[in-house]
A and B are shown apart, each in its own frame.
Chain A
Amino acid sequence: MREKLALLRYILAGNPVTLLALGMLVLLLGCAILGPALVPYDPIATNTASALQAPSATHWFGTDQLGRDVFSRVVVAARLDLAIAFAAVLLSMAVGSVFGAAMGYFRGWLDTAGSRGTDVLMAFPLFVLAMAMVAALGNSVSSVVYATAVINLPFYIRLARAETSIRRDMGYIEAARVGGSGHARILRVFLLPNILPALVVQASVNLGWAVLNTAGLSFIGLGVRAPTPEWGIMVAEGAQFIVSGRWWIAAFPGAALMLAVFCFNLLGDGLRDIVDPRSRT
């Protein structure tokens, strides 16, 4: 335990940005878990009397066209946005790593078919593909999760395939075969745990994309629907008021979105430094 703490301190000392990212992650997760219990106003209660107020001591981030408190809505929205992103990323990581690892391990027709399949998937503009999928699956939160998972899938398949290809001929895999392990056991016990760190790094970066993708879909009216607090919808609703000088309705959810993407990208970079053996001394 002491050793682990010392290791963590060593890594963070060389990487202060990762510390910043960790701080931001704690803030985001805190909002997601405790947010609804902490916020000063009900995020969906309308109050036309106090509509379109600029940020002040009573309404830190101002109010929107229906008089809802923007601060409360931004904080509460963190739960839904992060939940969709985490679910989508976990789903694509689980499916993609198994598929990719099997492709890299067995090679042959499975690899050829799988690789061309991911190429086809990658050839579509991903956001347009997600739009089409949500439109086809029905306008619900779960279809946003599936759509986001599918468009992230090729990255995991490719990464898992590449990482497995590097390791499939290493001594410990041959040793496992000599030690009586079949293909399934080699994949499950020897390969997947060893490629996991690389996949986690990829997942961290993908979380940022997934948040952005979710917000993007709801911005154009797919997936999550008003009046549910969600960053993308809030930006979409606030956009029409920017020209009349009421910038705060769109700016604060936009900033929250930026903070989340920024946090996950930085975290991914930091994790990569930790996982990448070349940077270890």
Chain B
Amino acid sequence: MSETLLSVRHLSVEFRTRHGIVPALRGISFDLAPGEMLGIVGESGSGKSVTAYSVMGLLEASARVTGGQALFGGRDLLRLGQGALNQLRGAEMSIVFQNPRTALNPIRPVGAQIADVIARHDPAPAAIIEARVLEALRQMRIAEPERRASAYPFELSGGMCQRIGIAMALACSPKLLIADEPTTGLDVTTQAAVMDLFRDAVRARGVGSILITHDLALASEYCDRIVVMQTGQVVEDAPVAELFARPRHAYTQKLLRSTPSSVDSIEALAPDEEPVAPAPVAARPSGPPVLEVRGLCKSYVHSRSRAFWRRREVARLQAVADVDLVIHPGEAVGLVGESGCGKSTLSRMISRLIMPDAGEVLLDGAPIHSIAPGRFARLPQRRHIQMVFQDPTESLNPRFSVFDAIADPVTQLLPRQGKAALRARVEQAALQVGLPLELLNRYPHQLSGGQKARVGIARAMAVEPRLLVLDEPTSALDVSVQAVVLKLLTRLRRQQGVAQLFVSHDLNVVRLLCDRILVMHKGRVVESGPAEQVFNRPAHAYTRSLLAAIPRLPQLQEATTP
């Protein structure tokens, strides 16, 4: 073994919480060589961020390091005081945070923030520092660095903010750089651009770096070696090629099988979990469509005129422009696009949460687009379109038990029935989504992410809708939980025949779940067709760029690129 840059040995950390002492790390060990790029992969709660924060000395007050050491440049980082760590942080080692917007000071120009870091560790005349700031921005390939340096974070896009964050972290040429989920909130195309820049900058300087991510495919594309973590322990530590060729630990294998890009059909996804009903023989959609959308438009006021005493032309942002869409009974249609493409606006217009500006929405042939959302809530048609929301935590009322949450739409939308009938219906809905009945009395904060997602689906399915609109239902979930939820949705469609509109930014997920795919870009549908065709033979340039940006696992990459 040659020299090591960072050597973490038997690191243990625990948190003091209201439920007593909770161990976060249980004696983890790994090494990082200079210039190496190490990926730490794990699901939420596996301790990957805690590892980064302990090394940087940024743990919060309730955490305590109970053992082990982290040797960096001959010194144990865990024994250093905050004063000594302040000398190291920014100069010798630095970190890129998950959310680039909250990691930057919102009321200071970004150039000045980078200059602060340089001035702190490497004082020099202002002109020299300014030159170094511009050089740092140029290395991140930020166009017009002079102008961008004086911009405030809110004036920049998320991807641009993260580039600034990386430039700031690299400004003093550290030897160690930790990136904690640097691209999690970003679109796939932006993610690819930012990660390429990150890799190039790190390689060019020979910086040893740690990439912390939940995305096995992303880590496999950029890292040399991967450490897989589970519940505070390192379960596998291997070079990338070896890890994917011969995953040794059962947990690594499970993670691999749960990643949508690693499989070709929904049946192959996480085969040990959640049985999937066989596809019906007559899968072809038949009969009149459940939903028909014709020429739907919606625009938002972009900037309002300051003059309040007279009406002026206001700039408008066309969120959805002239969209047509047909969904047949039992069919699953995927709506794919990056953030801001209008897919959420479209799904909310279809669910009658917001009013369209123009166009028609026909439910079973009956027009519903002219009914105000507030009044639509009282109509019998309301039960036919139900929705599952993006964030399972946020979409459950914290004051409702699971039973109340599922029963609420039933009491509002179905004819009044007795207590026993209500309970029977709620229990049936819960069993249908695989939710154990003993969880019915629990409250959302007592449930795991996957259980909350099941509650959200049970709530929508309890009133037996004709169409289920799913707005990124798995984007807040870990891959293994996502796999289970995707299989659950497929089973519900095949058994209950409910039509599904699946809105997502992830083409890989949509490919597994849907018969047809619509790709949206800047408010318009740029491509639509059967799932296999859109995925394998994309016609539109935007679809191709979207596909190219998706990180892939090694073996799949070899299979698809000749």
- Chain B nearest CB from A10 CB (Å) reads 4
Q: Which residues of B contact A6 (CB under 8 A)?
A: 18
Q: Which residues of A contact B102 (CB under 8 A)?
A: none
The answer to whether B390 has its CB under 8 Å from any CB of chain A is yes
B17-A281 in contact (CB<8A): yes
The answer to whether B159 has its CB under 8 Å from any CB of chain A is no
The answer to whether B286 has its CB under 8 Å from any CB of chain A is no
B389-A180 in contact (CB<8A): no
- Interface band, chain A: 20 to 34
A182-B374 in contact (CB<8A): yes
Task: Identify which of residues 1-48 in chain A touch chain B, using a CB-to-CB cut-off of 8 Å.
Answer: 6-7, 10-11
The answer to whether A183 has its CB under 8 Å from any CB of chain B is yes
The answer to whether B294 has its CB under 8 Å from any CB of chain A is no
A65–B456 alpha-carbon span in the complex (Å):
71
The answer to whether B322 has its CB under 8 Å from any CB of chain A is no
A245–B383 alpha-carbon span in the complex (Å):
78
A190–B408 alpha-carbon span in the complex (Å):
11
B377-A180 in contact (CB<8A): yes
Task: Identify which of residues 323-357 in chain B touch chain A, using a CB-to-CB cut-off of 8 Å.
Answer: 348, 351, 353
A177-B353 in contact (CB<8A): yes
For B459, give its contact among A7, A175, A193 (CB under 8 Å): A175
Given known contacts A172-B395, A190-B397, A178 and B390 CB-to-CB distance under 8 angstroms: no
Q: Which residues of B contact A190 (CB under 8 A)?
A: 397
For B18, give its contact among A7, A172, A181 (CB under 8 Å): A7
Task: Identify which of residues 150-207 in chain A touch chain B, using a CB-to-CB cut-off of 8 Å.
Answer: 170-172, 174-183, 185, 190, 193-194
B377-A175 in contact (CB<8A): no
The answer to whether A116 has its CB under 8 Å from any CB of chain B is no
Q: Which residues of A contact B412 (CB under 8 A)?
A: 179-181, 185
Residues 14-37 of B, flagged 1 when their CB comes within 8 A of A and 0 if not, give: 011110000000000000000000
Q: Which residues of B contact A194 (CB under 8 A)?
A: 397-399
Q: Which residues of A contact B398 (CB under 8 A)?
A: 172, 194
Given known contacts A174-B387, A281-B17, A179 and B408 CB-to-CB distance under 8 angstroms: yes
A99–B399 alpha-carbon span in the complex (Å):
22
The answer to whether B396 has its CB under 8 Å from any CB of chain A is yes
The answer to whether B373 has its CB under 8 Å from any CB of chain A is yes
> Which of the listed residues A7, A11, A170 has the most CB atoms from chain B within 10 Å of its own CB?
A170
B18-A280 in contact (CB<8A): yes
A81–B482 alpha-carbon span in the complex (Å):
58
A180-B413 in contact (CB<8A): yes
- Chain A nearest CB from B378 CB (Å) reads 6
A177–B18 alpha-carbon span in the complex (Å):
35
The answer to whether B394 has its CB under 8 Å from any CB of chain A is yes
B394-A178 in contact (CB<8A): no
For A172, give its contact among B17, B351, B353, B396 (CB under 8 Å): B396
Q: Which residues of A contact B236 (CB under 8 A)?
A: none
For A175, give its contact among B15, B378, B456 (CB under 8 Å): B456
- Chain B nearest CB from A166 CB (Å) reads 11
> Which of the listed residues B15, B373, B412 has the most CB atoms from chain A within 10 Å of its own CB?
B412
Q: Which residues of B contact A185 (CB under 8 A)?
A: 412
The answer to whether B62 has its CB under 8 Å from any CB of chain A is yes
A190–B374 alpha-carbon span in the complex (Å):
16
**Count of B residues near A, CB < 8 Å?**
34
A171-B408 in contact (CB<8A): no
A10–B20 alpha-carbon span in the complex (Å):
9
Q: Which residues of B contact A175 (CB under 8 A)?
A: 387, 389, 395-396, 456, 459
The answer to whether B497 has its CB under 8 Å from any CB of chain A is no
The answer to whether B478 has its CB under 8 Å from any CB of chain A is no
Q: Which residues of B contact A174 (CB under 8 A)?
A: 348, 353, 387, 389, 395
Q: Which residues of B contact A10 (CB under 8 A)?
A: 18
In this complex, what residue of A is CB-closest to B395? A171
- Chain B nearest CB from A173 CB (Å) reads 9
Residues 402-422 of B, flagged 1 when their CB comes within 8 A of A and 0 if not, give: 000000110011000000000
Task: Identify which of residues 61-118 in chain A touch chain B, using a CB-to-CB cut-off of 8 Å.
Answer: none
- Chain A nearest CB from B64 CB (Å) reads 13
B378-A182 in contact (CB<8A): yes
Q: Which residues of A contact B451 (CB under 8 A)?
A: none
B459-A179 in contact (CB<8A): yes
A281-B18 in contact (CB<8A): yes
The answer to whether B233 has its CB under 8 Å from any CB of chain A is no
- Chain A nearest CB from B401 CB (Å) reads 13
Q: Which residues of B contact A179 (CB under 8 A)?
A: 386, 408-409, 412-413, 459, 463
A193-B399 in contact (CB<8A): yes
Residues 360-392 of B, flagged 1 when their CB comes within 8 A of A and 0 if not, give: 000000000000011001100011011101110
A178-B386 in contact (CB<8A): yes
Q: Which residues of A contact B385 (CB under 8 A)?
A: 178
A180-B394 in contact (CB<8A): no
In this complex, what residue of A is CB-closest to B387? A178
> Which of the listed residues A7, A180, A181, A281 has the most CB atoms from chain B within 10 Å of its own CB?
A180
A180–B374 alpha-carbon span in the complex (Å):
9
Q: Which residues of A contact B460 (CB under 8 A)?
A: 178
A35–B387 alpha-carbon span in the complex (Å):
58
A180-B397 in contact (CB<8A): no
Given known contacts A181-B408, A280-B18, A176 and B387 CB-to-CB distance under 8 angstroms: no
- Chain A nearest CB from B72 CB (Å) reads 28
A281-B408 in contact (CB<8A): no
In this complex, what residue of B is CB-closest to A280? B18
Q: Which residues of A contact B383 (CB under 8 A)?
A: 180
> Which of the listed residues A11, A176, A179 has the most CB atoms from chain B within 10 Å of its own CB?
A179
In this complex, what residue of B is CB-closest to A7? B18
A175–B413 alpha-carbon span in the complex (Å):
13
A174–B383 alpha-carbon span in the complex (Å):
14
A175–B382 alpha-carbon span in the complex (Å):
12
Q: Which residues of B contact A11 (CB under 8 A)?
A: 18
Q: Which residues of A contact B397 (CB under 8 A)?
A: 172, 176, 190, 194
A178-B391 in contact (CB<8A): no
In this complex, what residue of A is CB-closest to B444? A172
- Chain A nearest CB from B487 CB (Å) reads 23
In this complex, what residue of B is CB-closest to A281? B17
Residues 269-281 of A, flagged 1 when their CB comes within 8 A of B and 0 if not, give: 0000000000011
A181-B395 in contact (CB<8A): no
- Chain B nearest CB from A163 CB (Å) reads 13
Task: Identify which of residues 242-257 in chain A touch chain B, using a CB-to-CB cut-off of 8 Å.
Answer: none
Given known contacts A10-B18, A172-B395, A178 and B62 CB-to-CB distance under 8 angstroms: no
A180–B383 alpha-carbon span in the complex (Å):
8
B399-A177 in contact (CB<8A): no
In this complex, what residue of A is CB-closest to B375? A182
A171-B391 in contact (CB<8A): yes
- Chain B nearest CB from A112 CB (Å) reads 11
A172–B382 alpha-carbon span in the complex (Å):
17
A171–B387 alpha-carbon span in the complex (Å):
10
Q: Which residues of B contact A183 (CB under 8 A)?
A: 374
Apart from the given pairs A11-B18, A179-B413, A180-B412, 12 other A-B contacts in the complex at a CB distance below 8 Å: A171-B389, A171-B394, A175-B395, A175-B459, A177-B373, A179-B408, A179-B459, A180-B377, A180-B378, A180-B383, A181-B412, A281-B15
What are 28 pairs between A and B in contact, CB < 8 Å? A7-B18, A170-B394, A170-B395, A171-B390, A171-B396, A172-B395, A172-B396, A172-B397, A174-B389, A175-B395, A175-B396, A175-B456, A176-B397, A178-B382, A178-B387, A178-B460, A179-B408, A179-B409, A179-B459, A180-B383, A180-B412, A180-B413, A181-B377, A182-B374, A182-B378, A185-B412, A194-B399, A281-B15
